[in-house]
Structure 1
Amino acid sequence: MKSNRRTFLQQSSTLAGGAILLPAFGVRPFSFSNVSPSDQINVGAIGLNGMGWADLSAAMKLPGVNVVALCDVDRNVLDKRMKDLADKKIDTSRIKTYGDYRKLLEQKDVDVVIIGTPDHWHALIMIDACMAGKDVYVEKPVGNSIGECRAMMAAQKKYNRVVQSGQWQRSQQHFKDAVDFVQSGQLGNIRTVKVWCYQGWMRPGAVVADSAPPPGVDYKMWLGPAPIRPFNSSRFHFNFRWFWDYAGGLMTDWGVHLLDYGLLGMKAQYPKSIAALGGNFAYPDLYEETPDTLTALYEFDGFNLVWDHAMGIDNGSYGRDHGIAYIGNNGTLVLNRGGWEVIEERQSKNKVSKPFVKVSDNGLDNHMANFIDVVKSRKMEDLRCPIEAGAHVAIVAQMGNISLRSGKRLSWDKVAFGFNDGDVNEKYLTKEYHNGYQLPAMWTARAPG
């Protein structure tokens, strides 16, 4: 961002008494209609096949936001998105396209980078973007290992960039209202928090033979720091989620959204112990490594948190395919993307039942607006989901996967920031990087402050 733009925006914020900022969970009041072209926000997006495109689309709704660069290792996706932009009557002649994200980061007029790549690329691109002086909106889970999460937090702190994690539920009013009710004490003593994700539509790919990459795909760049393997269409695009090289399965895909609110409601940090069981029970004949069925138990001081996921099934707890349930002595609050309600305990005399409250706003749009506002104001404390928050829940999700993969009930040392098992730390805390890539060792041995 040009210095005159930042000065202008900060001065405008002061003169307007802070009116430039997005209210806690409301509509953006600020209009860019009188802002000159040199005082606008230029965005480059990296990874455009799924949420990267959804994120960019949300950003384009905001006045004063310009798309100036796109990057994807699949030329077919890149061409499709350029056509999509042209169909929106956007002048694509001014948009530069790349197959290598490093070239995009060299583009001087890019102020903000949106990262929507597979998970195994999030850390390196976010760190490189911060080093290049860009602000970053990075999709969840922010890191693909505990070590990556720590490096990402350290990079944000070192380069003082605005970094928002794409956990957009933090920008929806009904989630905030539900947490406020949980923390009001009306549910009584909460002993158990259940978090579940039952996704009947999710299916891994078929078992198919390895093949040559499709024309237009830079497969070597797609692999990046992951191990070299022959191309297989059932490991590519959406299905990368089901392989340990690139992601953590449903636990990290949906888990970071839902576990986040389990932790937020209880004001919880890291568990004392973790135990997980699961396997590939739903689709034994399809191509997957991560478990399609998993239950993980997290032990905290004063309560337990249970994670439960199942692919191929929609009938989850309380008749919902996903959600968070805070189970208290007086009642249970059940929350998901559709809304929330309080189910009173039969023997309770407190009368805490509450009818279902429906969703009333667009979380992704609100979340992106919050990010762009903080890019302008530089008030990091106003971010809804800063990198520390995204890393926190990603680490908790990784703990469940590590317990499953190691076959052990694990204890967590919050001071040393590792498990009380040296072999598990050695094998799972940080993924090995390949093909000449290295994860910067940007943190100390102490727990992150």
Structure 2
Amino acid sequence: MSFMINRRSFLKTASASLALSVVGTQAAELIQQKTWRVGLIGTGWYGKSDLFRLIQVAPVEVVSLCDVDRNLLKEAGEMVSQRQKSKKVPRLYTDYRQMLAERDLDLVLIGTPDHWHALQTIAALEAGAHVYVQKPISVDVLEGEAMLAAARKHRRVVQVGTQRKSTPHLVEAKKNIVDAGLLGKVSHIEICCYYHMRANGNPPVQPVPDHLDYEMWTGPAPLRPYDGLPHVRWWRTFMEYGNGIVGDMCIHMLDTVRWMLGLGWPRRISSAGGIYVQKEGKSNITDTQTAVFEYPELTIVWQHRTWGDPPDPDYPWAMFLYGDRGTLKASVTRYDFIPRDKNTKPIRKDCLYEREQFPEDVTEKGIELHAAPATRRHMLDWLAAITEGRRPVADIEEGHISTASCILANIAMQLGRPVSYDPQKRVVIGDAAATKLLRRAYRKPWKHPEV
């Protein structure tokens, strides 16, 4: 008993210390002044991970959980009861609309597959909640426009799960390398992912298990024949539910370099790629793709391959900022600044781990230990933005620009020509065929959100 009391005291101290260092005394105190009522939609791997990081840094009561898989849902309820102070099992729902109809939530976290993000975010905003939505925010460009409009209409804070902006060593790299001018003029950036992460099996069609509402899981997306639990990362290998590896991994790196350099919409986007090597399975996302995002006197080039080896084994998922005075290599686990002046010392920094401050991280199943500190800071920034009436570091508008740019890269690849998007008119300039692709068809009875 004494051990448990001391442990709780230690965790409270660690959380308070972190909040003070990240958002300052006033915001930290404001965050602590209330018990935030929380709901989570999508109780799989990353949904729970986000929720547990929030529990670590703020006084919350997890009121409700929602998932179409009743086994996952029950397990999540039990896990949350062990984590939260009240020890209560949250109310459990299989339909997010019923959960949101209670209108009793301050915060809603959305950890569902990409094809659900738009409808669930907008519904949560309409129910009066502030939202933390995983990236990418949408599967088509006009969904993102509708989400942005809803956030502004309802005056709610939406933080996007592009937590690289809250990653300590990357925040430091921005301040001490980029903002300090050590790179000089940056006119070329390469971003990449060479992980072998493309699921490509041939599982047989099979009966839907009783514990899964597959109709509701599919929602507005096309209804594929059921060939196994889709939410165990199998869904990411199909364009029906997302935008491939560009939509999943490029958005992180594009968003990060945009933040580091203060960039908005690209003026032109082109892309080429396809399934060049891994042709044997059901997957319909590219295994090889290049995209170019053009800015004035700057190009950002994305490359992914799900086969072969990375050109730099230390940086398989990374960004390379090339300036006339030096180069910055950066990833989720480290950065290296390499100056051109031989008299200037290189700078190296590894990512921060917080195992001692938050020892429960070490035993949590499936946790990304390197990302946990970033997610905690991302949650604190979100809550501080709510209490201070400001935009968060990963505001919905920035998430929309990064998401839509990646979607536009796929459109450019599909059409075989560059595209230029006008966010005011919400059209691809001079390209009616590309403009039609800004909006996906929804499966009935689901209706595409309107701006």
What range is the shorter-chain TM-score in?
A: 0.7 to 0.9
Counterpart contact for 1:70–1:97, Cα < 8 Å: yes
- Structure 1 equivalent of residue 448 of structure 2: 439
Please give the residue correspondences for 1:228-247 in structure 2 after superposition, counting only pairs within 5 Å.
228-233=223-228, 235-247=230-242
CA shift for structure 1 position 397: 1.2
Counterpart contact for 1:46–1:70, Cα < 8 Å: yes
Residue 400 (structure 1) aligned with residue 426 (structure 2) = no
Amino acid at match of 2:396: I
- Structure 2 equivalent of residue 189 of structure 1: 185
Give SS of 1:125's match.
helix
> What TM-score do you get using the length of structure 1 for normalisation?
0.85
Counterpart contact for 2:141–2:407, Cα < 8 Å: yes
Residue 59 (structure 1) aligned with residue 39 (structure 2) = no
1:159 paired residue among 154, 157, 165:
154
- Structure 2 equivalent of residue 5 of structure 1: none
Amino acid at match of 2:66: C
Structure 1 residues 281 and 113: alpha-carbon distance in aligned structure 2, compared to 1, 3 A threshold: same
CA shift for structure 1 position 340: 1.3
1:364 paired residue among 368, 371, 375:
375
Amino acid at match of 2:188: T
2:325 paired residue among 317, 324, 330:
330
Percent pairwise identity = 29
Structure 1 residues 89 and 187: alpha-carbon distance in aligned structure 2, compared to 1, 3 A threshold: closer
Distance 1:228 1:318 in 2: 39
Distance 1:406 1:379 in 2: 42
Structure 1 residues 353 and 240: alpha-carbon distance in aligned structure 2, compared to 1, 3 A threshold: farther
- Structure 2 equivalent of residue 411 of structure 1: 420
Please give the residue correspondences for 1:265-414 in structure 2 after superposition, counting only pairs within 5 Å.
265-313=260-308, 315-317=310-312, 319-345=314-340, 348=341, 351-360=343-352, 362-375=373-386, 377-381=387-391, 383-413=392-422
CA shift for structure 1 position 165: 0.5
* Deviation per residue, 1:136-187 (Å, 9 max, x gap): 1111111111111110100000000111111111112221222232233322
- Structure 2 equivalent of residue 420 of structure 1: 429
Distance 2:227 2:273 in 1: 25
Distance 1:44 1:287 in 2: 35
CA shift for structure 1 position 122: 0.3
Distance 1:240 1:332 in 2: 37
Structure 1 residues 185 and 247: alpha-carbon distance in aligned structure 2, compared to 1, 3 A threshold: same
* Deviation per residue, 1:337-370 (Å, 9 max, x gap): 112111123xx47x45422111225101111122
Aligned length: 415
CA shift for structure 1 position 69: 0.5
Give SS of 1:61's match.
helix
> What TM-score do you get using the length of structure 2 for normalisation?
0.85
Counterpart contact for 1:316–1:322, Cα < 8 Å: no
Distance 1:120 1:414 in 2: 21
Which shows bigger deviation, 98-107 or 274-283? 274-283
Residue 128 (structure 1) aligned with residue 146 (structure 2) = no
1:204 paired residue among 160, 179, 199:
199
Counterpart contact for 2:78–2:89, Cα < 8 Å: no
CA shift for structure 1 position 198: 1.3
Mind listing any 5+ residue stretches in structure 2 that lack a counterpart? 1-16, 354-372
* Deviation per residue, 1:79-124 (Å, 9 max, x gap): 2212323454766655100000011102243211100000010000
Residue 222 (structure 1) aligned with residue 217 (structure 2) = yes
Distance 2:67 2:32 in 1: 33
Distance 2:191 2:207 in 1: 40
Structure 1 residues 398 and 89: alpha-carbon distance in aligned structure 2, compared to 1, 3 A threshold: closer
* Deviation per residue, 1:240-276 (Å, 9 max, x gap): 1121221011111121111112222232212222221
Mind listing any 5+ residue stretches in structure 1 that lack a counterpart? 1-18, 443-449
Counterpart contact for 2:321–2:329, Cα < 8 Å: yes
Distance 1:212 1:421 in 2: 47
Give SS of 1:380's match.
coil
* Deviation per residue, 1:303-338 (Å, 9 max, x gap): 111001122455244631111111111211111111
